[in-house]
Copies of this chain bind each other. A is one copy, B any other.
């Protein structure tokens, strides 16, 4: 299928024909169109009123391929419908942290959504050392509400099963199955290693049995545990934030999967930022300790707040219905004990997925800017080795690590031991 992206005038003409969009952009027949093109998958445009640039929307269109690679990696355009559906679903559950969709076109595989113009991509903000005082609170709310309400803990069994069947996302799950859970652990041509990364570190990913077993178990969980509608790609590049507000964007990978995949993705990216800090702050002549401390605090805060909020929503729901998930009335000691065990298991999943997500960012095809922007190869490799070391520990010890504080202590020890 041949695809041609919109020209500015074509997009203007198209948008002016849609009342819901006109209502956003005011009474203006001239629009400013800027292709921002920082997505791996899609074409993304900022469109604003020429009369009043504060009136602005985002347009996102899916070409029939992975934009990062081009026509050589075809991808079904229906992914845009999935993204729209997921944005609407997550938005209904957590409107303060999900951008609004104003218009969706299932023939052009295009949507028009809220422009977040006083926010920036969180990954960039973390690279610049910005402190986001509300981040952990907001993301833990988003996680608790979305993960709970898609699951059997909330939905009636028939609604849940219909959702599982409706949210199968074969093509995008394949990307994760391969790039996160398979290729990093084998000698695959898509892997990319930084020049100074020791061969022993790469070799260990292929041969160290406890690590391989744990990664295999996480792959199995990803492919089989249809627990809830997860975002599926919740790294710090899928979050836009400022000091007061936080939005989760880009849920095109959404599918029915394990809850820990979202919590793990976010924590993994905080930990990558933590290790990358050493270079970014030293380059800027700052002591990295302060911001590193803040990052580890966010790791602790987001998990602890998530667990507390998730349990609370669950408890309230059971109180309202009078029924506990495991049978019997709400509020029994058994129901509370089950909740604790459930969260403990979800914590182990979170750590296991976090480990896999860290590893793929170091040796897999898709990198993160806080690491790739490290210009000193030796420093970069040292940081990458730390990431791999912590990732391995998270995977292998995921059921033994007793708390998120044990995780941050371990993260700091990995840093100290190789400082």
A177 at the interface (CB under 8 A from B): yes
Residues A152 and B327 in contact in the complex (CB < 8 Å), given A168-B165, A213-B338, A216-B338: no
From residue A147, how far is it (CB to closest CB) to chain B in Å? 13
**Could you say which of B165, B208, B326 contacts A165, with CB atoms under 8 Å apart?**
B165
A223 at the interface (CB under 8 A from B): yes
Task: Tell me, in angstroms, the Cα distance from A226 to B173 when the chains sit together.
Answer: 15
Q: How many chain copies does the complex carry?
A: 2
Task: Tell me, in angstroms, the Cα distance from A356 to B333 when the chains sit together.
Answer: 20
A337 at the interface (CB under 8 A from B): yes
Binary B-proximity of A322-360 (CB < 8 A = 1, otherwise 0): 000111110011100110011001000000000000000
Residue of B nearest to A208 (CB): B334
Check A328–B217 contact: CB distance below 8 A.
no
Task: Tell me, in angstroms, the Cα distance from A15 to B413 when the chains sit together.
Answer: 76
Residues of B contacting A213 in the complex (Cβ-Cβ under 8 angstroms): 326, 334, 337-338, 341
A174 at the interface (CB under 8 A from B): yes
Task: Tell me, in angstroms, the Cα distance from A345 to B327 when the chains sit together.
Answer: 25
Residues of B contacting A215 in the complex (Cβ-Cβ under 8 angstroms): 326-327
Residue of B nearest to A218 (CB): B326
Residues of B contacting A216 in the complex (Cβ-Cβ under 8 angstroms): 325-327, 338, 341-342
Residues A168 and B164 in contact in the complex (CB < 8 Å), given A334-B212, A334-B213: yes
Task: Tell me, in angstroms, the Cα distance from A207 to B345 when the chains sit together.
Answer: 22
**Could you say which of B181, B187, B209 contacts A337, with CB atoms under 8 Å apart?**
B209
Residues A224 and B223 in contact in the complex (CB < 8 Å), given A173-B161, A213-B338, A327-B186: no
Task: Tell me, in angstroms, the Cα distance from A373 to B168 when the chains sit together.
Answer: 47
Residues of A at the B interface (CB closer than 8 Å) are 152, 157-158, 160-162, 164-165, 168, 170, 173-174, 177, 181-187, 206-209, 212-213, 215-217, 219-220, 223-227, 325-329, 332-334, 337-338, 341-342, 345
- What are 17 A-B pairs at a CB distance below 8 A? A157-B174, A157-B177, A162-B170, A165-B168, A181-B327, A185-B326, A206-B334, A207-B334, A209-B333, A209-B334, A212-B326, A212-B338, A213-B338, A215-B326, A216-B325, A217-B345, A224-B225
